[in-house]
Amino acid sequence: MGVTEQGLLEREKDTMTLNMGPSHPSTHGVFRAVLEMDGEIVGSADPDIGYLHTGIEKTSENKRYVHVIPMTDRLDYLNPPGNNLAFCLTTEKLLQIEIPPRAQYLRVIHCELARIASHLVWLATHALDIGAMTVFLYAWREREMILDLNEEISGVRMMTSYIRVGGVAKDATPPWLKGVRDFVNYFPAKVDEYEKLLTQNPIWLDRTQGVGVMSREEAINFSMSGPCLRGSGVDFDFRKKRPYSGYENFKFAVPTRKEGDVYSRYLVRVEEMRQSRDIIAQALDRLPVGDHKAPDNKVSLPPRDTLHNSMEALIHHFKLVSEGISVPRGETYVPIEGPRGEVGFYIVSDGSNVPYRVKLRAPSFMAIHGMCEMMSGSFIADVVAIIGSVDIVMGEVDR
């Protein structure tokens, strides 16, 4: 940089480099973007990630299958059941075991509750970023109820690890089911309340409509998934297209919007909360009776009371606790639909009780590049709206 005759600093270029993050309240974690600003317009955004790298994929290569499940909770920490389910479904596909219907229904209830909770966090923080404080407090209130339900069934509020290989950790109790039923009856009026605050709100419309537009072709090309894909008019949801864990038994709609802007992603997610609520209601109505985990003693622990009078049960218990599940050689990938989009684990097994390679397909990780493309050309004030609307979780980006 030189000095002009008037003694002013000479600029080499007309743009300014602006550092955003890594600790910025609207980046939802530790995400850093280097913005090349041309006045108020973002010229380009260069993402910088890795601040939350915890080496979970590497650690998984040295842990037994059962021990990997609690680590998957910490990947996308707003959707722990979805990660558990993706990992368990992949392992079960390698093991080739059948899951009893009751376990499948309990998994669905648990995952849909997590989807609602995750969307509530998204709505709360996204609205707060744009300046709507009230929604933040309202959404947190309902999320608290879901966390209480999580605590009741799994003992943990967020990192539930409730879904296990072969089924779920323990059977649902009548009080818990009643609690879920109460929540299901209570929740629709609350969604209407959020919508009353935002959907027709002129400030909200100004800040979100026509902002961060992504066309259908771009969304597919940039490997966006979940609500970002459906907000751009792509009708693709793994729960409908390739039903897993019994989703074919439920009636629900997949909301899509054509506009591809921040507002359309907002509408898609709000409608998804209603649909998730409907799925939970149907699952409660038709919850089958039976086992909550596969009766295969090579995979799931035998019932506790049989240990006292069955030698075989005792041996299986000892082997499972001391050695864990042995998974046949092979490799596979099972995609599921998480709140942020396609979640899947690519697992390579060498036939032992420890996975040889675990790779997470994280929707947020794949979305970051597309998100930065959305930012270029937008106003600096819209950057927070775009980041909020893509709903990234840095835990699964950096892994």
Residue 263 CB, shortest distance to other proteins, in Å, is 23
Binding footprint of other proteins on the chain (CB under 8 A): 49-50, 53, 55, 57-58, 61-62, 93-94, 96, 220-224, 234, 236, 241-242, 330-333, 335, 342, 344, 346, 348, 350, 354, 356-357, 359, 361, 365-366, 368-370, 373, 398-399
Q: Phi then psi for 36, rounded to 5 degrees? A: -95, 105
What is the β-pairing status of strands 341-349 and 330-338? antiparallel
| Choice between 58 and 286, CB closer to other proteins | 58
Amino acid at 279: I
Q: Phi then psi for 304, rounded to 5 degrees? A: -60, -40
SS (H, E, C) 355-384: CCEEEEECHHHHHHHHHHHHHCCCEHHHHH
DSSP string, 97-117: ----HHHHHHHHHHHHHHHHH
Q: Return d(Cα 67, Cα 49) in angstroms, integer.
A: 27
Q: What b/e string do you get for 152-172 counting C-beta neighbours within 10 Å, with b at 16 or more?
A: ebbeeeebbbbbbbbbbbeeb
| Choice between 129 and 398, CB closer to other proteins | 398
Helices (H) and strands (E) in the chain, counts: 15, 8
Residue of 269, 137, 134, 275 lying closest to 208 (CA atoms):
269
| Choice between 198 and 362, CB closer to other proteins | 362
| Choice between 61 and 195, CB closer to other proteins | 61
Residue 114 CB, shortest distance to other proteins, in Å, is 22
Residue 57 in tokens: 């994929």
Residue 8 CB, shortest distance to other proteins, in Å, is 34
| Choice between 140 and 356, CB closer to other proteins | 356
Residue 368 CB, shortest distance to other proteins, in Å, is 6
Residue 234 in tokens: 């792509």
Q: What is the DSSP letter of 30?
A: B
| Choice between 261 and 398, CB closer to other proteins | 398
Residue 271 CB, shortest distance to other proteins, in Å, is 20
| Choice between 255 and 370, CB closer to other proteins | 370
Residue 367 CB, shortest distance to other proteins, in Å, is 9
Residue 373 CB, shortest distance to other proteins, in Å, is 8
Half-sphere exposure of 81 (CA within 13 A, CB side): 30
Residue 40 in tokens: 């108020």
| Choice between 250 and 345, CB closer to other proteins | 345
Q: What is the DSSP letter of 165?
A: T
The radius of gyration of the chain from alpha carbons, rounded to an integer in Å, stands at 23
Residue 351 CB, shortest distance to other proteins, in Å, is 10
